[in-house]
Amino acid sequence: MKLVVTGGAGYVGSVCTQALLEQGHEVTVIDNLLTGNRDAVPAGAEFVEGDVAEVAADVLGADPDSPRFDGVLHFAAKSLVGESVVAPEVYWYGNVVTSLALLEAIRLSGTPRLVFSSTAATYGEPKTVPISEDAPTAPTNTYGATKLAIDAAITSYAVAHGLAAVSLRYFNVAGSYAGFGENRVVETHLIPLVLQTALGQRDKISVFGSDYPTDDGTAVRDYVHVKDLADAHLLALHHATAGRHDIYNLGSGEGFSVRQVIETCREVTGLDIPVTDAPRRAGDPAVLIASSQRAIDELGWRPQHTDLRDVVSDAWDYTRCLGDRAHAAR
């Protein structure tokens, strides 16, 4: 297939682009490089630098009788939860307005499929775990609210215009694949933060909340390997059905506490990792674990990397590689 990947210079977008290329697809990446990295765009993909809202129409074309592309995978987004709370205007514009412009470009070009990168943040604080797709959606931050709004827009386009659409709601993404991994200017994810601390790039790792109703008092999260996510996107492309918008959760189905993650990082790296306890962050649920049964049943997806040690090992390989590059550049 000929595919467009928005945000293909970012973490998940770059890994998915690499997986698509390995499967023989032709890929055009759109990214404005505000948070992505040019060297994260895999070799073999065509690259268009620019904001999705501004360039999508030109890239996709405007001849619905002869679409240029077979589908779009939409990863481009603002994704810092804390920032979304203090600067909601940036998120409503950067996520929702941009996605509406993309949906219009898809409609006018006749592009038949869309796979959307959504999030477990659409659920907010769950009443039960594991969380299924039937759980109430009640986001506790602007980031989650924008993703939920985009899902609603996609449903409307699927019903009204026959778009074949799938949204994939990720839980905590981690790991690396084929030399592609997490490399953000502002890092907020636990595993890379712990590994950066192991390398001495940070003084210590803060544990936000040690009084949760969990076995060791720290929050529990579901970590899904980035390559497993990429596999789900490929399956979603083939599953997408005209006139329907299907939504799937993607997680490993297992939960690991913050202290378990830190201890696993110590085991993998063989290094000491200084830790300090800090107060809970507002809106952080005690436990978030996915039910991915619908994706297993309908997409035929099954995560292959459910051992936390394997996930951390892949992330550690990439983190050390980044550290070596930074040292060589001095």
Beta-strand runs (E) in the chain: 2-6, 26-31, 46-49, 71-74, 113-119, 164-170, 172-174, 205-208, 220-221, 223-225, 245-250, 256-257, 275-278, 287-288
Catalytic (active site) residue 143: yes
- Which residue type, as a one-letter code, is found at position 316? W
Q: Which helix (H) or strand (E) holds 278?
A: strand 275-278
Distance CA 50, CA 27 (A): 16
- What is the SS3 assignment for 280? coil
At 306, give phi and psi (nearest 5°): -100, -5
At 52, give phi and psi (nearest 5°): -55, -45
Marked catalytic residue, from 143, 157, 212, 248: 143
Q: Which residues contact 99 (CB under 8 A, 6 or more apart)?
A: 74, 116, 150, 153
Among residues 22, 25, 37, 24, the alpha carbon closest in space to that of 8 is found at 37
92 with 146: CB under 8 angstroms? yes
Q: Which helix (H) or strand (E) holds 46?
A: strand 46-49
Structure token digits, residue 61: 């074309």
DSSP state of 95: I
- What is the SS3 assignment for 122? helix
**Largest pairwise CA distance in the chain:** 60
121 with 174: CB under 8 angstroms? no
Write down the H helix ranges in 270-307.
293-294
The residues carrying an active-site annotation are: 143
